Amino acid sequence: MNRTAVFIGASVMLAATTLSLSAPADGGAAPAPADPIKTLVQQLDLERYKATIKGLTQFGDRRQGTDRNSAAVTWIEERLKSYGCADVSRLKYTYFPTDPQRPSGPQVARGADISVGGARYRGTRAHTGVNEDPMLQPDEKLRALNSQPSRGGEREEVYCTKVGITHPEEMYIVGAHMDGHGWGEATNDDGSGTALVMELARILSAPNVKTERSIRFVLWNNEETGLNGAWAYVTQRAGLQGKEDPRGSGRYPEPKWLGMIQHDMMLFDHGMPRADGSVAREQRPEADVNIEFQSLAKAADGAQKLAWLFVAANEAYATDYPAAVGPHMTNTDSTPFMDLVPAISLRENERGREIGAGWDPQWHQPTDLFATYSDADFRLGLNAAQTTLGAIGRLSGVTLGH
């Protein structure tokens, strides 16, 4: 072993010497071609990501069925247009609280220690729930902003598309939900995922960025009421996949779905609650991006492969935090897709075993405010953005022109 190592070391040194001697003789050899994905990932910026999250918080908790939610949809739509993202569109549907509930995850037998999605709880669990009490929001301005109640009726959600050069008829869907609740600012749930998707739409919509396949950026509405916006999208558009319209135009209003990647709560990984239910104040140094697929989904095999591809992209492109994979994706907008196409979610923690056990004390609470989070928290979301941009760059075949 040692001998081999010495031998390889010597030949590397020799090669390096040869290279350093020959390079000037060429008058400067051409540098290795830069990785276009790395160039794009470097355009992600912590302050810019934070500014987009902050922009979303001006609409309070963005609860579905309110004027503040509609105003946020319009704000997102205007931003997507300003980025140059193509075919900015709205999906229309209706939602009434009396609508029958559709599944939020797989059917799993719930035992005392089995969470949604099928994971087994471990260790300490703390209380979770949705705050419905306005008086628990001490900020009077924010309380007033969040005061209009939700009304049943018409709903809209916005999406736009990076159109592929060689395969416009196929796409990856990159999503997050823009609605929230709980009388806070829905900063983490899910301003953090919404801003991530918007930043990717901005970077990939630059005119010099080309992709072989299409990418659709969707900001779902009504996630908090039972994934109703995502279910509406699947119901209305699954049957349109891959159809050229008008015929011969080269346009595909609904490219064939190759995969669906959801982002939901990207910031806070402070570890398990302590015995008294409290959670550490600081981001834990070993924080990670949790990538989940659902082992009970019909498309589980493809979803698992997609998850590992995201881990590889994280290793290649994420600056601070690693990624981990789990098999219990649930309760977010990737669920309606998971039997049809490989679907994964990215989160700060696993949804069932960790978030469901109270690892995020801001979840659906008045404390889900921009001011609650530190740069170490926001940086976890930025690392998830680096991971998805790296993976989607590889999957879509990205190149940079002039």
Closer to Zn ion by Cβ: residue 314 or 331:
331
Tokens matching residue 241: 């996949």
Using CB under 5 A as the binding rule, whether residue 189 contacts Zn ion is answered as yes
Pick the closest to residue 192 from 92, 91, 269 (CA basis): 269
Closer to Zn ion by Cβ: residue 190 or 348:
190
Place of tokens 């990624």: 323
Closer to Zn ion by Cβ: residue 200 or 227:
227
Residues pairing with 292 in the sheet: 326, 345
Tell me whether the omega of the peptide bond preceding residue 246 falls within 30 degrees of 0, making it cis: yes
- Least Å from the CB of residue 288 to Zn ion: 18
- Least Å from the CB of residue 177 to Zn ion: 6
Tokens matching residue 166: 């060689």
Query: Site for Zn ion (CB under 5 A): how many residues?
Result: 3
Using CB under 5 A as the binding rule, whether residue 288 contacts Zn ion is answered as no
- Least Å from the CB of residue 314 to Zn ion: 21
Stretch that binds Zn ion, among 65-73, 109-117, 182-190, 234-242 (CB under 5 A): 182-190
DSSP 327: S
Spatial distance between the Cα atoms of 339 and 83, rounded to a whole number of angstroms = 33
C-alpha of 135 from chain center = 31
Residues pairing with 154 in the sheet: 94
C-alpha of 343 from chain center = 12
Residues pairing with 328 in the sheet: 294
Spatial distance between the Cα atoms of 129 and 132, rounded to a whole number of angstroms = 9
Stretch that binds Zn ion, among 106-114, 181-189, 268-276, 349-357 (CB under 5 A): 181-189
Stretch that binds Zn ion, among 45-53, 145-153, 190-198, 321-329 (CB under 5 A): 190-198
Closer to Zn ion by Cβ: residue 190 or 368:
190
Using CB under 5 A as the binding rule, whether residue 354 contacts Zn ion is answered as no
One residue of 61, 77, 190, 269 binding Zn ion per CB under 5 A: 190
User: Within 10 Å of residue 369's Cβ, how many Cβ atoms?
Assistant: 18
Using CB under 5 A as the binding rule, whether residue 199 contacts Zn ion is answered as no
Using CB under 5 A as the binding rule, whether residue 368 contacts Zn ion is answered as no
- Residue 211 phi/psi, 5-degree rounding, is -125, 150
Using CB under 5 A as the binding rule, whether residue 264 contacts Zn ion is answered as yes
Using CB under 5 A as the binding rule, whether residue 269 contacts Zn ion is answered as no
Using CB under 5 A as the binding rule, whether residue 348 contacts Zn ion is answered as no
Phi-psi region of 277 (alpha: psi -120 to 50; beta: other; left: phi over 0): left
Stretch that binds Zn ion, among 110-118, 131-139, 259-267, 384-392 (CB under 5 A): 259-267
Alpha helices in 182-334 (DSSP H): 192-204, 228-237, 300-317
Binding mask 213-252 for Zn ion (x = CB under 5 A): ----------------------------------------
- Least Å from the CB of residue 364 to Zn ion: 9
Binding site for Zn ion (CB under 5 A): 189-190, 264
